[in-house]
């Protein structure tokens, strides 16, 4: 075997690519893992939470070696209406016990670690390498091109992210549609751990994850906030088509969110150290391309548009890792066609069944009033009930009905309830 020939070439050292390379290399496969950034993670942005089961699936106990931030023990949902906010806080210490359910992560450190794990397992890792094209021979993908260099492999795994230019080049599926993605913007804000713990009501390495609705000027989307070690990840994801129609620059809406009093109090005194943006697959199961493989090629992770967003739970990195493992297992099954084996592994490892279980959830986000009217309604109704001004209050039921009518008609309410019911 010559130097530039491998069993498998994995393009992209995000969680999907590194998981795949790791699982192949530990079984003795000759794997090349390529990353276009100067280091793994250098080109990646994510909200910032990894569900730990995926690392456990790859190798029990592996998460203990990973540079994870905080284990999430509080889940918060924030309904925003201008300066007002109503926040639901769900705390369950059990989420942090045993193998914690999830951790906040910072991709620059997580991805760099993951790629180094693949390397330690025997994969050849090369960063600063942009895959420029594919080698196609006799109807199969036979390798990749990096500049003038050609590298060959039995299988090329496209783990090149949501834009997956490689899968497009392979003719597997067209460019991602605007309606199928969200554009996320995010600031990383440094704060001392003692301040984070005090403000968020956690101790040690416990952490908080928050989603927010009502902070997007009515655009389909929502805010997020994750506590890390020594920093917070704060951002918003927008539906790009609706954001364009709204007409106000998305980073301006995001800066408004920083000034929302309930958010401002949490980030006060912090130092913004980085600004990032990324696309995320948003529509779940129905957004998965029909063809995820062809002879000599598999598509994994964001490139395959694996993602789940229930409004409360947002999953991507875990599915990426599981899909990387599924691809590796398929490749390791000698004698079976790799593509179909990959799809069966995605079933066996519960990725596709899980995405199917949430297949219609995206319909919830088709209820446009979720992003403005309902958060407003909640804040106005609760605001009224907490209000004391020394005057004789109006009858409670009458006032609450008035608050509802101010925001939605009963016809809309019924239609939205039906749509919500149909979606879940």
Partner 1 sequence: MSIKRLSPEELLGLDRFNVDEGHPHILVDKARCAVCAQRPCLTVCPARCYRLKDGQVAFDCAGCLECGTCRVVCKDKGVTSWAYPRASFGITFRCS
* Rounded least distance, CB 115 to partner 1, Å: 15
Task: Select from 153, 183, 208, 288 the one that contacts partner 1 (CB under 8 A).
Answer: 183
Q: What residues have CB less than 8 Å from 324, skipping those under 6 apart? A: 15, 16, 17, 18, 19, 20, 21, 22, 23, 58, 157, 159, 300, 301
Residue 385 touching partner 1 (CB under 8 A): no
To the nearest 10°, the Cα dihedral for 40, 114, 69, 164? 50
Residue 231 touching partner 1 (CB under 8 A): yes
* Phi, psi for residue 155 in degrees, rounded to 5: -135, 135
Q: How far apart are the first and last CA of the chain?
A: 53
Alpha helix ranges (H) inside 26-171: 53-58, 107-120, 165-169
Task: Read off the tokens for 146.
Answer: 């990096």
Distance CA 375, CA 30 (A): 53
Q: Which stretch binds partner 1 (CB under 8 A): 14-22, 203-211, 267-275, 351-359?
A: 267-275
Which residue, 280 or 346, is less far from partner 1 as judged by CB? 280
Is 28 strand, coil or helix? Answer: coil
Is 170 strand, coil or helix? Answer: coil
Cβ(361)–Cβ(424) below 8 Å: yes
Residue 186 touching partner 1 (CB under 8 A): yes
- Rg of the chain on CA atoms, in Å: 23
Per-position x/- string for 20-39, each x denoting binding to partner 1 as judged by CB under 8 A, each - no binding:
----------------xxx-
Task: Select from 172, 279, 322, 367 the one that contacts partner 1 (CB under 8 A).
Answer: 279
Which residue, 242 or 380, is less far from partner 1 as judged by CB? 242
Which residue, 270 or 284, is less far from partner 1 as judged by CB? 270
Is 420 strand, coil or helix? Answer: helix
Task: Select from 140, 199, 258, 399 the one that contacts partner 1 (CB under 8 A).
Answer: 258
Task: Select from 18, 46, 86, 380 the one that contacts partner 1 (CB under 8 A).
Answer: 46
Task: Select from 4, 83, 137, 275 the one that contacts partner 1 (CB under 8 A).
Answer: 275
To the nearest 10°, the Cα dihedral for 67, 181, 251, 314? -40
Residue 159 burial (10 A CB sphere; 0-12, 13-18, 19+) = buried
Task: Select from 4, 88, 149, 272 the one that contacts partner 1 (CB under 8 A).
Answer: 272
Q: How many CB atoms lie within 10 A of CB 139?
A: 9
Distance CA 213, CA 260 (A): 12
* Phi, psi for residue 179 in degrees, rounded to 5: -70, -15
Which residue, 87 or 272, is less far from partner 1 as judged by CB? 272
Task: Select from 52, 197, 227, 233 the one that contacts partner 1 (CB under 8 A).
Answer: 233
Is 422 strand, coil or helix? Answer: helix
* Rounded least distance, CB 394 to partner 1, Å: 38
Task: Read off the tokens for 65.
Answer: 């070696």
Q: What residues have CB less than 8 Å from 195, skipping those under 6 apart? A: 269
Interface positions, 99-118, toward partner 1 (CB under 8 A): 106-108
Interface positions, 159-178, toward partner 1 (CB under 8 A): 162-163, 165, 175-178
Number of residues that bind partner 1 (CB under 8 A): 59
Task: Select from 60, 269, 366, 383 the one that contacts partner 1 (CB under 8 A).
Answer: 269
Residue 420 burial (10 A CB sphere; 0-12, 13-18, 19+) = middle
* Rounded least distance, CB 170 to partner 1, Å: 16
Which residue, 161 or 339, is less far from partner 1 as judged by CB? 161
Distance CA 369, CA 396 (A): 24
Which residue, 127 or 412, is less far from partner 1 as judged by CB? 127
Residue 50 touching partner 1 (CB under 8 A): no
Q: Which stretch binds partner 1 (CB under 8 A): 59-67, 74-82, 246-254, 369-377?
A: 246-254
Which residue, 309 or 423, is less far from partner 1 as judged by CB? 309
Q: Which residues bind partner 1 (CB under 8 A)?
A: 36-38, 41-46, 106-108, 128-130, 162-163, 165, 175-178, 181, 183, 185-189, 231, 233, 238, 240-241, 243-244, 246-251, 255, 258-259, 264, 267-279
């Amino acid at each position: 075997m010559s130097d530039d020939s491998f069993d498998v070439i994995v393009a992209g050292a995000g969680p999907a690519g590194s998981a795949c390379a790791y699982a192949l290399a530990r079984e003795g496969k000759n794997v090349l893992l390529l990353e276009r950034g100067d280091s793994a993670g250098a080109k990646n942005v994510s909200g910032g939470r990894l569900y730990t089961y995926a690392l456990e699936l790859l190798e029990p106990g592996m998460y203990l070696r990973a540079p994870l931030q905080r284990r999430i023990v509080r889940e918060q949902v924030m309904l925003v209406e201008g300066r007002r906010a109503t926040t639901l806080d769900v705390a369950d210490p059990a989420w942090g016990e045993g193998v914690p359910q999830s951790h906040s992560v910072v991709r620059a450190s997580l991805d760099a670690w993951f790629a180094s794990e693949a390397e330690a397992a025997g994969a050849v890792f090369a960063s600063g390498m942009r895959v420029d094209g594919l080698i196609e021979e006799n109807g199969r993908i036979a390798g990749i091109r990096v500049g003038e260099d050609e590298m060959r492999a039995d299988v090329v795994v496209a783990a090149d992210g949501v834009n997956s230019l490689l899968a497009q080049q392979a003719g597997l599926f067209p460019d991602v549609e605007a309606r199928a993605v969200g554009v996320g913007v995010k600031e990383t804000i440094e704060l001392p751990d003692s301040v984070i713990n005090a403000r968020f009501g956690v101790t040690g390495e416990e952490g908080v994850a928050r989603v927010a609705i009502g902070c997007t000027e009515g655009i389909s989307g929502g805010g997020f906030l994750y506590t890390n070690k020594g920093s917070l990840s704060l951002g918003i994801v927008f539906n790009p088509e609706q954001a364009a129609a709204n007409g106000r620059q998305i980073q301006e809406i995001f800066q408004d969110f920083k000034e929302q009093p309930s958010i401002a109090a949490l980030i006060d005194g912090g130092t913004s150290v980085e600004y990032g943006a990324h696309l995320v697959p948003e529509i779940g199961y129905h957004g998965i391309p029909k063809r995820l493989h062809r002879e000599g090629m598999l598509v994994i992770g964001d490139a395959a548009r694996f993602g789940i967003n229930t409004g409360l739970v947002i999953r991507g990195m875990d599915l990426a890792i599981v899909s990387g493992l599924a691809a590796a297992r398929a490749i390791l099954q000698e004698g079976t066609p790799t593509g179909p084996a990959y799809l069966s592994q995605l079933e066996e490892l519960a990725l596709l069944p899980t995405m199917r279980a949430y297949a219609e959830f995206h319909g919830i986000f088709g209820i446009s009033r979720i992003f403005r009217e309902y958060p407003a309604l909640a804040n106005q109704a609760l605001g009224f009930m907490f209000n004391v001004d020394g005057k004789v209050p109006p009858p409670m039921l009458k006032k609450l009905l008035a608050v509802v009518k101010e925001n939605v008609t009963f016809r809309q309410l019924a239609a939205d309830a039906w749509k919500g019911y149909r979606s879940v």
